[in-house]
């Protein structure tokens, strides 16, 4: 197929869309993605230069096999392209003795026989001098975790998918789509694109593209801050693993000085619901909330509550914070991936492969936790 037709059409070439194109093209499938903006744009959920990857997964042990598979696929992609995709620095899950956050991560490690280490706050401070935790805090260190470099990941995906014949068309805003037993069609301002199977990976726009399903998705605005530090070396990956911390101040995540050269932080639990077509994309002075200031001045050392860089991304949240990866309930030839709830990027490679399975194998099924039907009214 060529021109405005392909065996598989993908709506959205953000993280999961490009991963699906990559996986399908490498299998020899004729696949075409329609992206409403430019490739690797700042309008999507993948903003912010870096992401955490980890295996000890406090969100639930059901994710662990996928984290391991995704890690392997990223590592293989890194080896083939020669691009640095992974910075293996470990990952810390930190919590208070009362909330048990570290123990939830530990439980998944035990369930799947993963390496881990439990540290007290005092031990974290001694090992990683950028920390100033209360001594009775608990941390689960995942030695196999680390940082993913977003731009390199998107470059690697595109190199391999284009070499295999996959196509991405930019500036193609989707106006509508349809499906029947004969195939699928997608309308854009440039015309109609047709295929046998449709994959919808519309990110923050999934609720609009899938309005027929009335999915309970909420899109949230997520400012990202890079804080001024006294010594960048203290916050280099080998000295300061990425972290997730649930403490009395807030639920934060942070990444070491990879790119740009400073400490990156965000608040996971701040749910400022927005319309992805109409919201303040620039970080504002009021985004430096008191919780940020309190955290960096009390829980860290050598960090100042002023930024050297800022960014913006969006979360698309489901009520249970599990993903939606499934076939459309009315159309077997339409697959959906949405609602990654702020923890999806690390799974991109394996989700791309899973979406390729759904598009090419009628017997392929999804994980029960990820079905559309769990939200049926």
Q: What is the mean pLDDT of each run of 10 residues along the chain (377 residues)?
A: 87 98 99 95 72 97 98 99 98 97 98 98 99 98 98 98 98 98 97 98 98 96 96 97 97 91 90 92 94 97 96 94 97 98 98 98 94 87
**93: CATH:** 3.30.9.10
Residues 282 and 252 in one domain: yes
Domain of 116, in residue numbers: 86-146+218-317
Strand arrangement, sheet containing 138-142? 117-120, 138-142, 91-95, 243-246, 251-255, 263-267, 218-229, 303-317
pTM of the full predicted structure?
A: 0.96
- Is residue 342 located within the same domain as residue 201? yes
Separation of alpha carbons 63 and 44, rounded Å = 24
At how many degrees (to 10) do helices 15-26 and 348-360 cross? Answer: 60
Taking the C-alpha atoms of residue 174 and residue 190, their distance in angstroms, rounded to an integer, is: 10
Q: Does the residue 54 lie in any domain?
A: no
300 and 368 part of one domain = no
Same domain, 301 and 160: no
Q: Residue 2's CB: how many other CB atoms inside 10 A? A: 8
- Do residues 96 and 115 both lie within one domain? yes
pLDDT in tens, 296-351: 999 999 999 999 999 999 999 999 999 999 999 999 999 999 999 999 999 999 99
| 352 neighbors 19 (Cβ within 8 angstroms) | yes
Residues 243 and 283 in one domain: yes
Residue 46: the pLDDT is 59
């Amino acid at each position: 197929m060529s021109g405005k037709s392909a065996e598989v059409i993908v709506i959205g070439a953000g993280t999961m869309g490009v991963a699906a194109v990559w996986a399908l093209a490498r299998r020899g499938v004729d696949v075409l993605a329609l992206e409403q903006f430019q490739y690797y744009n700042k309008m999507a959920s993948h903003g912010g230069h870096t992401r955490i990857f980890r295996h000890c997964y406090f969100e639930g042990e059901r994710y662990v096999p996928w984290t391991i598979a995704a890690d392997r696929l990223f590592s293989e992609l890194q080896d083939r392209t020669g691009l640095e995709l992974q910075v293996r620095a470990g990952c810390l899950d930190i919590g208070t003795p009362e909330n048990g956050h570290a123990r939830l991560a530990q439980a998944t490690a035990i369930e799947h026989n993963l390496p881990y280490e439990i540290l007290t706050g005092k031990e974290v401070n001694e090992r990683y001098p950028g920390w100033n935790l209360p001594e009775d805090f608990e941390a689960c260190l995942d030695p196999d975790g680390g940082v993913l470099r977003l731009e390199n990941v998107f470059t690697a995906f595109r190199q391999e998918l284009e070499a295999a014949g996959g196509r991405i068309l930019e500036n193609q805003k989707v106006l509508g789509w349809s499906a029947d037993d004969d195939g699928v069609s997608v309308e854009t301002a440039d015309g109609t694109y047709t295929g046998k199977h449709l994959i919808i990976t519309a990110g923050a726009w999934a609720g609009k593209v899938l309005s027929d399903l009335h999915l309970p998705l909420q899109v949230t605005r997520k400012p990202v801050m890079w804080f001024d530090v006294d010594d960048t070396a203290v916050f280099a990956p080998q000295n300061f693993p990425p972290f997730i911390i649930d403490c009395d101040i807030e639920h934060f995540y942070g990444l070491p000085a990879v790119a740009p050269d400073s400490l990156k932080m965000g608040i996971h639990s701040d749910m400022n619901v927005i319309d992805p077509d109409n919201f303040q994309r620039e970080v504002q002075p009021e985004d430096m909330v008191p919780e940020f200031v309190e955290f960096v001045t009390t829980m860290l050392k050598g960090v100042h509550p002023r930024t050297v860089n800022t960014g913006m991304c969006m979360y698309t949240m489901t009520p249970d914070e599990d993903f939606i990866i499934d076939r459309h309930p009315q159309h077997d030839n339409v697959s959906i991936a949405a609602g990654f709830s702020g923890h999806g990027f690390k799974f991109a490679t394996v989700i791309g492969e899973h979406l390729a399975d759904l598009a090419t194998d009628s017997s392929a099924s999804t994980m029960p936790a990820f079905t559309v039907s769990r939200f049926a009214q």
